Amino acid sequence: MTKFATVTSAAIAAGLLLVATSLSAAENITFWTLNFSSEAANKAFTAVVSDFEAANPGAEVTVVTRGTDDHKTAIRVAAGTDKGPDIYFMWAGLGLGGEYVKAGLSLPLDKYYADYKWDDEVVPAAGSFSRMYPGGRHGVPSSLSGEALYYNKSLFAKAGITSTPANYDELVADAEKLKAAGIPAIAFGGTVNWHVMRLMDVILEAKCGAEKHDALTAMTVKWTDEACVVQSFGELQKWGKNYILSPFMGIDDSQAFNLFLANRAAMMLEGDWLVQQLAEAGKIDDIDLFPFPTRTNRLYGFANYYYVSSKSKNPDLAAKFLDYLLSTPVQQKLLGVSGTTSINKNVTYGELRPMTKKWLDLFNTHDKVFLNGDQAFPLDITTEYFRVINEVVSGNMAPADAAAAMQTFITNKG
Amino acid sequence: MTASVETAAAQAGKPPRDWVLISLWISLVVVAAVWIAPFVFIVFTSLKSTAQVMTSSAFAPPTDPQFSNFTAAWARGRFSTTVVNSVIITAVKVPLGLFLSAMAAYALAKIPMRFGKLILVLILFGTMIPFQVMLAPIFTLVNGFGLIDTYPGVILPYLAFGIPYQVFILYGFFRNIPHELSEAARIDGASHFTTFRRVFLPVSLPVLAALFILDFVATWNEFAMALVLLQDREMWTLPLGLSAFQGQFSRDYGQLNAAIVMTVLPAIIVYLIFQRYFVSGLTSGAVKG
Amino acid sequence: MAERAILSNTRVQAALLLGPALVVYVVFAVFPMLDVIWLSFFKWNGLDPVKAYVGTANYVDVFTKDPVFWVAFRNTVIWTALSVAIPPMIGLALALGLNQPIFGRNSLRAIYYLPVIIASIAVATMWRWMYDPFFGLFGQILTSLGLQAWVPDWLGNRDIALYSAFGAYVWQSVGFSMVLFLAGLQGVNKSLVEAARIDGAGRWAVFRYVTLPALRTTLTIVLVLAIISSLKAFDIVYGLTGGGPAQSTQMLALWAFTQSMQIFDFGRGSAISVVLLAVTLAVVIPYMRWSQKREETAE
């Protein structure tokens, strides 16, 4: 606590020092982000903004929050006008975030990364996304999410599984053991397309390896040329037929979670946010987790980012605000309010749930992340990827046809 | 002009015991039971906890009614916001739309115009074309006016797509109003405004009432256009709120069903109150017109 | 005084009465319809400052390169055909039944009509829950009948999902046809029915030769409205399946919406809309002319 206080006061002192050297005239920036998950998060963020304004006389930060879909549309609505934001929230990756970068709406931040030394503060896995765009570094991380396999300890024991699988084949062998014990291995909800997609993503990573998987999502190699693609679709079909709690195409992810809580299936491929939900459901002691054994040493997940708009009239102030936001004291303050882990690696953690601790270790030990397919692909390809996955997993499309369908769509897009 | 149901019933109901009628009645009751079953299921579920839903039978009445589902769903579904938006939009759109339609229908039916026939066809055309086809251009149009996420931004398109059907019905009704009635007023020197207000509006009250209820329900329930035009959740209407609720909290079965009940209840109440008016109005207007 | 003179001019009065409705209608309904045709010749993602003219490329893409378009097309045709046939038929049967002097007629009518006044999106939410394969109503009914193994994945199995969704639509729309038919039945000449009865005509004969011909106008209205409202399937499909599984329940209107407002390919979405518009016109225009002609010859 005392340490926290000294850090804070040091930061404020540093802030005051900066004021004396730079800013003079009144400047304002607009900050567009998603609705905060709770009132506490909202308050904490408002406090951060007013602290920043207090430390930088003349600076004014207007925060506008919206729902997810509204936010996506709002940015498009603003794109044609000059009324857009200076800083906007968007997911990282060539899909959603990349589209805005491609349309020239994001300002390259290389200069600020160097000036403010953000790389010294940011968790490497979270920061890695800023490098994936052509033409410079774009955006700074706001949060990092990982996805892993949660499993029901007693169901695993019942099926005679004593250790977590070390590779994909062992995982399939475990799924087979569960099946033999009459336990569906894993629960998915098919109506939200991105849920089953996770399984395909991780199988591709396991079967094709990191490099080839990246080339596939970047669409620089043909889906039909790589044997591992057909193989992966074949594996997906196998899971759909044998191991996924059925029926699953007619339910959504949260209904699948209900079934998982009711011990109807042994595993779920879910994100770090599930820890909180498991705790609320009083099931946290029955569940543990392990990363999907892809053996590529990359974490499966995605990051939320803040980008500076290329139309911003005050990019320096925007970068300064982002620097303040990323700083250790501010992140320390936001910790536990807007997330259980921070993208700042210097943040200190108090007493943590064992499972949260596990996630933190996963974030800190992985310096590379492979993205969820729907963040990696452009929107139209994502839509087709969903369709093909759903056809394969419900047994309506042969694996080879699936690879061909993907490639045809990609080729047609040109 | 309107042979009443009662006299028809009295005439046809001579044979006291008609086995055809009895079996007909039984089958109608069975169909009615099937028709009402979903409501029973929804109401029962809305009063159960998630655990009860997962263990008890679908038609088992809730043993320990969870009224908290309703308060929880009200808060999580942001009903206090969506109800207000729905009320404002409906309260402005329905009377205004009906008034504009009635004026237009009167002009088309009673004032000879050079392009009257053409305009009528153009409007009739509108009754056939689903606005679902035009969601994207409506979005860009409203966005062009800077009216996304505003009440006028959704009310104006609502008016535009409500007008054709209402004009179509009212035109049919006005045309059948005896010529002498309007001519008498006209000869007395009344303007068309006066004739419209003093003669036509009063006699068309039943039709207007029917259209009012129809339009209330349609506006209250509209989803697709609101989905496109009201992006800000502070501006959401009830249907948008329910859809979002389903997407976010579908695993809280009790609360989800409580949200359904709260969404549909206002329309059901309005219907049950105005039912008779509604059917009789539709009878005199829509079919005979 | 001059003001009064202007207002007493019939043309001015007509313009003032007709104008407001016409302006709103033209700006917010007719213009978007033309705009959708215009947009269909451009490539635009909503982000770029300019729309690029691409000729008929969007149509070519939709017809030859879109793996979902023809599925959506087929589903739209099936859905329209079913909704012209089934709900009006049931509605007519119920109306004929309710037209008899039976006990509780008004309550029965109210019950059948109740689903009509519920928001489509609420109907979709209700039915989605009833179709829940684990705890839903239908699954439970089959389970209690010992048919556990027969519980299908109502909305997740591509072979039946469209028809499951249609089931919800039937439940919702039957009451509407019924009320219109009931109203039409009041226009049937009672003395004609009596006369036929006295002449020894059976129930069927009375229906076939007296009632049905008298219902012709009603029938026209009901069928036209059935076609129009079948295209409103947007809400119910959006809420029940969202076009899934694997786009197998996709419809033209929903697919146009998805392309424009979710994938943000406005050109392609508009091209799909134009196709739907053309299909609608191909049905509606001949139908209107046909019914008009019949009406004229009947008079």
Pairing label, strands A27-34, A59-66 = parallel
Residue in C with minimal Cα distance to A412: C65
Length of chain C: 299
Nearest CB partner across the interface for B264, out of C122, C218, C253? C122
Q: Does the pLDDT of residue A301 top 70, yes or no?
A: yes
| Interface residue A277 vs chain B (CB under 8 A) | no
Closest CA to B282 of B198, B196, B215: B215
Task: Specify which of A302-306, A334-338, A403-407, B196-200 reaches the highest per-range mean pLDDT.
Answer: A403-407
Residue B249 with chain A: CB contacts under 8 Å: 254
Nearest CB partner across the interface for A379, out of C65, C132, C263? C263
For testing the chain C interface, which of A88, A102, A193, A251 should be mutated: the one with the most C CBs within 10 Å?
Answer: A251
Question: What per-residue confidence (pLDDT) applies to A280?
Answer: 84
Question: What per-residue confidence (pLDDT) applies to C291?
Answer: 62
CATH number of B78-287: 1.10.3720.10
| Interface residue C182 vs chain B (CB under 8 A) | yes
Across the interface, whether the CB atoms of C114 and B38 are under 8 A apart is answered no
CB B58, CB C141: distance < 8 Å: yes
- Please, which residues have CB within 8 angstroms of residue B113's CB and are 6 or more apart in sequence? B107, B119, C14, C18
Q: Higher model confidence: residue C195 or residue B151?
A: B151
| Interface residue A288 vs chain C (CB under 8 A) | no
Residue A76 with chain C: CB contacts under 8 Å: 46-47, 264
Q: Higher model confidence: residue C88 or residue B185?
A: C88
Query: What is the band of B282 on the pLDDT scale with cuts at 50, 70, 90?
Result: low
The burial class, CB within 10 Å (0-12 / 13-18 / 19+), for A122 is buried
| B138 token code pair | 């409506």
Q: Does the pLDDT of residue A2 top 50, yes or no?
A: no
Q: How far is CA A393 from the centre of its chain?
A: 24
**Domains of chain C: residue spans and CATH:** 69-249 (1.10.3720.10)
Distance from CA of A71 to the nearest CA of B (A): 8
Domain regions of chain B by residue span:
5-71, 78-287
Residue C127 with chain B: CB contacts under 8 Å: 38
What's the Cα-to-Cα distance from B223 to each of B16, B240, B243, B269, C187, rounded to whole Å? Answer: 49, 7, 9, 20, 35
Give the 3-state secondary structure of C154-181.
CCCCCCCHHHHHHHHHHHHHHHHHHHHH
Q: Does the pLDDT of residue B251 top 60, yes or no?
A: yes
Q: Does the pLDDT of residue A204 top 70, yes or no?
A: yes
A247 prior amide bond cis, ω within 30: yes
Residue in A with minimal Cα distance to B146: A77
Query: What is the band of A23 on the pLDDT scale with cuts at 50, 70, 90?
Result: very low
| Interface residue A70 vs chain C (CB under 8 A) | no
Average pLDDT over residues C144-148: 80
Question: What per-residue confidence (pLDDT) applies to B288?
Answer: 40
Query: What is the band of C185 on the pLDDT scale with cuts at 50, 70, 90?
Result: confident
DSSP string, A119-161: GGTB-HHHHGGGGSSTTS-B-EEEEEEEEEEEEEHHHHHHTT-
| Interface residue B39 vs chain C (CB under 8 A) | yes
Average pLDDT over residues C40-51: 85
Average pLDDT over residues A278-295: 92
d(CA C166, CA C161): 9
Distance from CA of A198 to the nearest CA of C (A): 16
Q: Does the pLDDT of residue C299 top 60, yes or no?
A: no
Question: What per-residue confidence (pLDDT) applies to A82?
Answer: 65
Q: Does the pLDDT of residue B11 top 50, yes or no?
A: no
Instruction: Output the CA torsion A398→A400→A401→A403 (10° steps).
Output: 130
d(CA B288, CA B284): 6
Pairing label, strands A287-290, A140-152 = antiparallel
| Interface residue C137 vs chain A (CB under 8 A) | no
Distance from CA of C281 to the nearest CA of B (A): 8
Nearest CB partner across the interface for B54, out of A77, A257, A262? A262
Nearest CB partner across the interface for B104, out of C22, C99, C239? C22
Q: Does the pLDDT of residue A228 top 90, yes or no?
A: yes
pLDDT tens per residue across span B30-61: 999 999 999 999 999 999 988 888 888 777 88
Query: What is the band of A235 on the pLDDT scale with cuts at 50, 70, 90?
Result: very high
Average pLDDT over residues B179-189: 74
Closest CA to B220 of A215, C217, C119, C121: C119
Query: What is the band of A61 on the pLDDT scale with cuts at 50, 70, 90?
Result: very high
Question: What per-residue confidence (pLDDT) applies to A408?
Answer: 95
Average pLDDT over residues C151-177: 91
Question: What per-residue confidence (pLDDT) applies to B283?
Answer: 54
Nearest CB partner across the interface for B12, out of C100, C179, C284? C100
pLDDT tens per residue across span A86-128: 999 998 988 788 888 888 889 999 999 999 999 999 988 888 8
Nearest CB partner across the interface for B250, out of A66, A74, A254? A254
pLDDT tens per residue across span C7-26: 667 788 888 889 999 999 99
CB B24, CB C100: distance < 8 Å: yes
Query: What is the band of B2 on the pLDDT scale with cuts at 50, 70, 90?
Result: very low
| B133 token code pair | 């086809």
Average pLDDT over residues B239-259: 87
Closest CA to B221 of A354, C172, A76: C172
ipTM of the complex, rounded to two decimals: 0.87
| A189 token code pair | 């909800």
**Domains of chain A: residue spans and CATH:** 2-145+302-360 (3.40.190.10), 147-300+370-413 (3.40.190.10)
Closest CA to A267 of A353, A164, A386, A357: A164
